Structure 1
Amino acid sequence: MAKKSSKKFGILLCALILAVIVGCQSVGGLNLNDMILKQIDVSQQEQSQLFELEIEFNEELISREEPEIASMVKEFSKISLNIAHAKMDEQGNQWINGVFGFGKGDIPFTLHSDSKTVRFDIDGSKRPLIIELPDTDPALEQSQQAMAETIRQLAQKVAAYFVRGLPNPPVLSVDRVSSSVHGVLTNLTKVHAELNGEQLGDLIPVYLENLMNDKEGLRTTLREVFQWAQELPPEVLSVFGEGADAVLEEDADIDAVVEEAFAELIPVLEEAQAEIAKAREEEEWGEIFDKGVTMAADLYVDDSLHLRKSFVELIIAPAFFTAEDSPVRSIKIRSSGEMWNVNGDVVVPQVEVPGNALTVEEAEGLQGYQALRLFEPSSVLYNVLKNDFKIDDQSFVLSDEWGIPFYVDSDGTAYVPIRATMKEFGVKLQVPAAKGQIRFYDQATEQAVIFQTGSAKANVNGKSVTLEHKVVNDGHFVYVSADDLFGILHAEYSVSDNESGERIMEVARDL
């Protein structure tokens, strides 16, 4: 049920945006309350959506950071998510095609899901990522769908009370317009609203007052909730805790139950009013609800009150962002989109799983350099992962006290345990072909290496190599000099003493 419900989050978010920005009182003949609640009716549709985030940083502070950090901050100061086409059918199957954009470039992607599988294709990736969803018993799935529908119906009834109390923003207008929606000229009602942080802060106590004044609305809402709960099966009702079945049994006195709940909720609302009144006297209230925070929206609904187009802009630039130690000067968030085929015939095909698909289990076991090789070197994501996040680099620390320790001999030569060290690189030793032989294949450098205990000769990719020091046995462990091993593996190391006198070896490899 959670998976099915989460797929409708975007639709419910539209309703929330409408509620917060628009309010609910009728304007220009348009019932804004009905318009908000109508969005909960949407079970399937197609749409396009553009999200943009722009952050203006404090350049003086950023200039003090390391060059790599400063560069990355600038690269991500402007990001966008452009959903060119998304569709969701009645069963909750989804198909999304879009582009993620930022300073380094654009990364196209496709997300496709059904009841069994989620497939994620990303530009430059050689293999799609597949997430297998657990099988669901058909009877259970049907029960979950029925429960989700019941909750949706309850949400409509409960939301009416909370939406009805929302006050309208100071700037609000309604006009009839003709505008293109997915290439089709459509008659729409345009709702324009504007609000700043200070005004929002002023509306909060008004909203609580409206809820308090609508006591009959609260009673009606409580009655709807209890009547809905009475119709739930026993196994679901048990979620509400011990005693719920007694309170909600069929012959329970609903009027008494409602009045008891009402008597408990009214003090809660009164306490909230008191807390808000107290908070408004504090300096922090003005910092949070600042004029520098502004919201504006153009929302277009059709004659059935379904949202068909939208543009929402939020600018966050409160006074405290101007402080010298503030890392951010302003944040701008914009969203625009179109919706079509609302509750129409939307078809999303089943997910196809190719033979080369990458599973989550396989991905979790990959070394950084292996994950990087899943992408084309010419792709944007490869560039970011390698040069910005350096996911293919390897580093670890060895100690002369814990684990299988390394040691330094009397000549100052450092020796490392071969098996434990290769494990840090993500490499397992192979079955030896002869006694005293140590074999492994380092995929990162594409080298097959063979050592022989007691010998200063090694074999690398079929060629004989002379080591500076012999491979030695020390009890149950085989050691090779750090200079020899890390020289072959293209790694660097350093040895130092920490504050407690422990000698540590830091190893790093830039691939």
Structure 2
Amino acid sequence: MTLQKSYTTYERSFLLMNSMKSKLAVLLLALTMVFVAGCQAVAGVDLNKVLKQSLITTSYEGSQTMAFELLINEEQLEELQNAEVPGYEALSMLSHVKLELSDIKVSDANHASMKGKLMLGDASIGFGLKMAEEKMEILLEGAKRPILLDLSEEALNGLLLPEAPGASAPEVGKAAEDQLTEIGRKVIDLVGGYAIDNMPNPESLSVKPAATTVGGEELNLMQVQVELNGKQLWQWIITYLDALIQDEEGLAEVMIAINELMKDNKDLFASLGAPFPEESLPVGASDEKQLKEAAAQLTSLLKSLKTNMEQAAAESPESVESVFNEQTYLKANVYVDSKLDIRKTETELMIKPKFPEAPADMEEEYMEDEAASEEEMYEEDMYEEDFYGAGLGSVGSAFSFIEGIRISSSSEMWNVNGEVAAEKPAADPNALGMEELAGMQGYEFLREFNTNSVMYDLLKNTFGVGHQQVILDPEYSQYPPIVTPDGRTLVPLRETAEAFGAEVKYNGKTKSATILDRATGAEIVVKKGSKTAVINGKSVQWSFPVTSVKGTLYVPARDLTKALNGTLYWESLYDDMKILIIERDVA
């Protein structure tokens, strides 16, 4: 039996909203603390305690900014733009993403609120978020109504982990939830003690007093500063692996302690529907001797990893340096107060691969091979004209314009572990719920926003929400299009209409089908064997009678497409193979 994890409301928000702080910020802070927490006390600051203190922060107020940037070769990007490559505009926009969070208020694990702004290129979208107990309210700028998410155990399990028929998740009371949280903290403390205490000092680390502003208040804090380039990071990892390898006894002690912790709480796991199996401890161990053997096996894996890294550096140094080079770096400033609370962070991670240029003769040979390969693919009916026509045919060239990635984050925290009153979600009966949201067509979600809003413009014009397309393949579709001897194209009625989000009802007595198109509000009624279609109460003559083919109703493609306010065309793939495309834009 599998243990169903019990989530606090705050943990559920991580699954639905990429966490209250965002995974980018968590990643950057984790990378920073990885380097600073393994050191001995520097300038009177116990950095190990700083990390542990950050894990027990329960309430705070603050602000945060996160940014993601693709470093793009502008010349190659311009070529993509000139070639009118689909998605260019979205790519350009997503290459500069920034998230600003303000007025962050976290009362406890289940109550939080914040305001924010998401910037995609030059576009900016404001939002507000409020969370209390098992509800999260999100109000997007330009939205006609708030989105209300149900973060209860039952709703989340149904959304992320569909249950087997008849199964149900066990109820988890507050006492059990608190107990699980405490177990989790103890496990983190055990594993963290082993992992953190073995970390080597990075080459560049300093701690000094610094005056800085946090939440508008001038403070005297201790500034922890670290900077590592890719080469230093590579060496740091090898040194760290060596330290872990040397501490096999410490790993065994951690595994034994975790095992005892789980056994001491086996009644709790049994109450959650997952009795603790004595015989299925980590890696199959059942006593102290076997746990030590398991630690030896894990240590052996670490040895293999270290050996492989050293061999790679010796045999192919250019491959290692392609990523772990001086252009790749992590820079961070962490400001700590006298209570060892983190009050401010400034972090930047740059990943900039550096590939050696190929000799001219090798480049020429490569281009000749590419040309031969493309010719061969064409002869084998595999040549994709649009892909290569856009200049994206050669290996790796589709991403050659991306030269690197920069991720940065800054944050400020005040009133840490103090009394904080977060705003609560409003009880709006008109709010857009999870179930309604999950069942929406793209155009329906688009209509949730005012037409003059930035969000509406982005969804409709940049990301194509509201654009619907149906592709029918004469050879591979389950219900393929049919071309009559006189050249008319017929399409399956139900499959085509439902693909556009329309509802189709068939009346066996009258042998008629009614199509209710929610997007346009149109009602179309057709009858088997008849050319007459009734559209919104008006009779229209179609070019071909409704025909049943092996139990499936077929209708003339152009007439149905016109009734649905769409367009259609045949597109050639290669040689004489074509597909039928029907599409429309609804908003």
Q: TM-score, normalised by structure 1?
A: 0.84
CA contact (8 A) 2:323 2:351 kept: no
Report the equivalent of 2:124: 106
1:493 to 562, 568, 575: 568
After TM superposition, the structure 1 stretch with the greater mean CA deviation from structure 2, 116-125 or 256-265, is: 256-265
After TM superposition, the structure 1 stretch with the greater mean CA deviation from structure 2, 124-133 or 405-414, is: 405-414
Q: 1:248 to 1:115 in 2, by over 3 A?
A: farther
Q: 1:427 to 1:215 in 2, by over 3 A?
A: closer
CA contact (8 A) 1:432 1:438 kept: yes
The Cα offsets for residues 323-359 of structure 1, whole Å up to 9 and x where unpaired, read as: 8953312322110010122112233455334222222
CA contact (8 A) 2:470 2:499 kept: yes
**2: CA distance, partners of 1:454 / 1:213:** 82
- Between structure 1 and structure 2, the one with the greater Rg is 1
The Cα offsets for residues 41-60 of structure 1, whole Å up to 9 and x where unpaired, read as: 21222221100112121234
CA contact (8 A) 2:144 2:448 kept: yes
The Cα offsets for residues 211-270 of structure 1, whole Å up to 9 and x where unpaired, read as: 45557755664564355344222564955661659x999xx8x6x677656655554554
TM-superposed deviation, 1:311: 0.2
What fraction of aligned residue pairs are identical, expressed as a percent?
A: 28
After TM superposition, the structure 1 stretch with the greater mean CA deviation from structure 2, 107-116 or 471-480, is: 471-480
Report the equivalent of 2:217: 184
Report the equivalent of 1:16: 30
Please state whether the residue corresponding to 2:187 is helix, strand or coil.
helix
CA contact (8 A) 1:117 1:351 kept: yes
Q: 1:223 to 1:461 in 2, by over 3 A?
A: closer
Please state whether the residue corresponding to 1:89 is helix, strand or coil.
strand
**1: CA distance, partners of 2:573 / 2:413:** 62
**2: CA distance, partners of 1:264 / 1:92:** 40
Paired AA for residue 434 in structure 2: V
**2: CA distance, partners of 1:314 / 1:91:** 29
TM-superposed deviation, 1:120: 2.6
**2: CA distance, partners of 1:291 / 1:451:** 69
**2: CA distance, partners of 1:500 / 1:330:** 39
**2: CA distance, partners of 1:248 / 1:496:** 60
Report the equivalent of 1:307: 342
Report the equivalent of 2:498: 423
- Is 1:372 the equivalent of 2:446? yes
**1: CA distance, partners of 2:26 / 2:544:** 69
**1: CA distance, partners of 2:42 / 2:416:** 24
TM-superposed deviation, 1:403: 4.5
Which ranges in structure 1 are unaligned for 5 or more consecutive residues? none
TM-superposed deviation, 1:369: 1.8
Q: 1:239 to 1:115 in 2, by over 3 A?
A: farther
Q: TM-score, normalised by structure 2?
A: 0.75
Paired AA for residue 107 in structure 2: D
Report the equivalent of 2:101: 83
Q: 1:352 to 1:496 in 2, by over 3 A?
A: closer
**Cα RMSD over matched residues?**
3.7
CA contact (8 A) 1:294 1:315 kept: yes
Please state whether the residue corresponding to 1:194 is helix, strand or coil.
strand
Q: Aligned residue pairs: how many?
A: 505
The Cα offsets for residues 9-46 of structure 1, whole Å up to 9 and x where unpaired, read as: 75975762343332412222222222222212212222
CA contact (8 A) 1:291 1:318 kept: no
Report the equivalent of 1:164: 197
Paired AA for residue 327 in structure 2: G
After TM superposition, the structure 1 stretch with the greater mean CA deviation from structure 2, 128-137 or 105-114, is: 128-137
Paired AA for residue 7 in structure 2: K
- Is 1:71 the equivalent of 2:89? yes
Paired AA for residue 363 in structure 1: L
CA contact (8 A) 2:526 2:546 kept: no
Report the equivalent of 2:45: 30
Which ranges in structure 2 are unaligned for 5 or more consecutive residues? 155-168, 359-395
TM-superposed deviation, 1:306: 0.9
After TM superposition, the structure 1 stretch with the greater mean CA deviation from structure 2, 143-152 or 281-290, is: 281-290
TM-superposed deviation, 1:99: 1.1
Paired AA for residue 74 in structure 2: E
CA contact (8 A) 2:493 2:553 kept: yes
After TM superposition, the structure 1 stretch with the greater mean CA deviation from structure 2, 93-102 or 275-284, is: 275-284
Paired AA for residue 78 in structure 1: H
Q: 1:418 to 1:239 in 2, by over 3 A?
A: same
**1: CA distance, partners of 2:180 / 2:103:** 29
**2: CA distance, partners of 1:454 / 1:267:** 74
* Structure-to-structure mapping, 1:257-336, within 5 angstroms: 266-281=299-314, 282-283=316-317, 284-320=319-355, 325=397, 326-336=400-410
**1: CA distance, partners of 2:492 / 2:170:** 52
TM-superposed deviation, 1:378: 1.3
**1: CA distance, partners of 2:491 / 2:172:** 59
